[in-house]
Amino acid sequence: MKTAFVLLAVFLLCPPVSLQAGDGYPEFDWNRVPLYAHLGIGSGLNQEQYHFLADHFDVVAFTGVILRNAPVEPNIATAAKAIKERNPKAKVIFYWASDMPKHQWQLSNATFPEGGYIPVKKGGRDTLQFDVRRQDVRDWWSGIAGKAVHDYGCDGIFVDGMTAGTPGGPWSKLFGAEQAAEMDTGVFAMMKQAREKMGPDKLILFNPLHGRNDKGVVLGEQYLPLADGAMVDDFDRGANVRQQAPEYLANTIEVMRTAAKDGKIVIFKGWPGFTWWSDKELMKKSHEEQYRVAKENITFPLACFLVGAEKHCYFCYTWGWLGEYGTFDLSPEFEKPLGAPKGDATREGWTFRREFENASVFVEVEKKIAKIEWR
C-alpha cells in the first residue's frame, strides 16, 4: 500500500517534468575525470582553498561543522561567493537534511516551528525527526532551501535523508509503515515547494541512491522524479572492515548508468578502502600516510566509475566528509586527459571494459581488480 501511496504522490504532487532544473545543470565535458567535492565548511576556508575548489571541481557541496556560538550559514555564503568569483561556471550546493535537524545550522534552526519535531530513540540515543506531515514544517524547510539560493548564493540543495520513508526504511522502523507513508508523502510535497522557492533552474540532489538489494529494490529510485540527481554513497565503503557482494557492486554501476542516461546528475562517491571510522589506526597516522594509501587504492573505484559514467556523472574521492580527508589532495589521475567514451562499457560476467579517447578501462568486480591505461 505504501508504494502505491508514494507513486500517487509523485504524479499528483510533483509532476516529473516540472521538477527538472534543466538549464541549471553544470557544464560538462570529458576532458578530464569530472569531479565533485563534498566537505564541511566549519569556520570557513582560506582563499587558496576556495581557488582550489573553483579550479578543480564542477560541483561543490558544503555541509556544516559544529561551531560553538557561531552559525555556519554565513560561511557557506562567503564560500559560494569566493568560488563563483573564481569560476562562474562552478555549482555550489547547500547541504540540507530532510529527515532530522543538524545542530550546525543555527540560523536555520532558530526559526523552526514550535512542536514540529518528533522525539524518538535511534541507536539507543534520544534524537529528533522532522514531522514533515505538518505544513508549517514543510514551509520552514522549503523556505530555508530558498534562502540557500537567494540569500547564500548557492545553486541548489543536497538533500540528505530524503529516502527515509522508503518501505522498510528508517521511518518505517521508527514509526511504523502507515505513519512513514504519510511522512513520505510530506517529503514529496516539500520538494515541490523547495523547487518553487529556489527557482526552476536550481538543483535538487539527494542521498542516497544505492544498487539493488537482495529483494531487487534500488534504494532511491522512486525519488529520482523529485530531483535532478543523486549520490551513490555506499559503493565499496569501508572495504577494510566489510565486503560487498560482486552482484551489488555490478548492479550499482548499472544503476548509475541508467539514472544518468535518464538525464540525472549522479555523484559516485569513491572510497579508498578505508574511511575515517573504519580504520582508527590509520587515522592516528599523518595525513601524508593517509593520502599515500588513498593514492594506492584509487584505481578500482575510479575504474568502476568510468565504466558506468555518462554525461553529468561526477567522481568524489575522499575518506570522509571533512576537507582534511582528501578533498585538497588532487590525485594524479585527475590531471590526465580522458576524452569522451567511444561507447558503452562491454560486460562479460563480472568483467567490464570501456574505451575512452585517451584511456582504456578494465574492471573485475568479484576479485576487485582494475586497470586504467592512459594514452
Asked whether residue 185 is domain-assigned, the answer is yes
Helix and strand totals (H; E) in the chain: 11, 14
* E strand spans, the chain: 36-40, 59-63, 91-95, 117-122, 125-130, 156-160, 203-207, 229-232, 265-270, 313-317, 346-348, 351-356, 359-364, 369-374
Q: What's at 231, amino acid-wise?
A: M
Could you tell me the residue range of the domain that residue 35 belongs to?
A: 2-340
Asked whether residue 266 is domain-assigned, the answer is yes
pLDDT in tens, 36-87: 999 999 999 999 999 999 999 999 999 988 777 788 999 999 999 999 999 9
Asked whether residue 304 is domain-assigned, the answer is yes
pTM above threshold 0.85:
yes
Query: 3-class DSSP state for residue 207?
Result: strand
Asked whether residue 321 is domain-assigned, the answer is yes
pLDDT in tens, 246-303: 999 999 999 999 999 999 999 999 999 999 999 999 999 999 999 999 999 999 999 9
Q: Total domain count for the chain?
A: 1
Asked whether residue 12 is domain-assigned, the answer is yes
pLDDT, residue 188, reads: 97
Q: How confident is the model at residue 105 (pLDDT cuts 50, 70, 90)?
A: very high
Q: What's at 213, amino acid-wise?
A: N
CA 130 to CA 99: how far, in whole Å?
Answer: 6
The CATH number of whichever domain residue 188 belongs to comes to 3.20.20.70
Asked whether residue 355 is domain-assigned, the answer is no
